[in-house]
Structure 1
Amino acid sequence: MKNPSTRIVGAIAAIVAVLAFYFVLLGQRGVSLIQDGRAVPVGLGLAVLVLPVLGVWMVVATIRSGLAHQHLARRIHHEGLELDVSDLPRRPSGRIDRGAADALFAQVKQEWEGDPDNWRNSYRLARAYDYAGDRGRARETMRRAVALEKLEREG
């Protein structure tokens, strides 16, 4: 049986390959429209050429972010500071019960308030936000954790 991470990396590689193919097709279509020479097709061609550029930027940013988060997850694991959610009650869907997630969040937020400039606390808070269902704040806090860890590593 394959390692779950190998399957995930394979799926990501397949998605990136499909997106790369799509971006090439878009680029070709944009160039074709520009070569027409008339004002409207040239304008559309230029607009179409922006799409692959934005797409590549989004793919690269997402992969870089995922790698940074994985780096922090490995460090947290090696330091034994992962949030233990194994004994929390779960809904039939497998997600942590809302009340239990909120209680975990309150505990982790209190730890974070004691030392908000520690990337470990920000990482744990981001995970607690995620368990509590607040994905927006989880992403924002994880970005903070990544920045703080980078400062620690470079300093």
Structure 2
Amino acid sequence: MKNIIKGLSFVLALSSFGIMNAQNKENKNLSIKVNKEESKDYIPAVRLINNPDGSCTFEKGRIPTLKHLNTTTFWMSNKTEDWEKNAHPAPRRQYVITLKGNIRFKVTDGSTFIIKPGTVLLAEDLKGKGHSWDMVKSKSWERLYIPIDENADDNFVKND
């Protein structure tokens, strides 16, 4: 009797697996329609940029919500290396989305600003000494990096 129950359990498990695989194959063929309509809402942002002489500065602004971004990849990090805390230019145009932590950024002229969760950092200071940063009342910085395609619009709207 135990063997019959084990056998039935095995058959049921295989048939469930087959049903799930069939459902997964069907789901792969489904397309999800996303409304491309833009919202009139924005998320606060700060953009790091280069001055004509190569020095780094920043401007405050915003990025519209529901705006589709041209990106194919992103990654997360919660580690920091010493070189990251020293002045450095951005390695690529990218959005840096802070999930946890308060980070003070410093630009060439000594000006600073703080990024907290809820504010997007747009790193576009690709030349010169770049920027530096340190954690403020935080022991870790959890973030997403989302590279911006080379010729894509960054969607940044500078504050008036």
TM-score relative to the length of structure 2: 0.21
For the pair shown, the structure with the greater C-alpha radius of gyration is 2
| Structure with the higher helix share, 1 or 2 | 1
TM-score relative to the length of structure 1: 0.21
| Structure with the higher strand share, 1 or 2 | 2
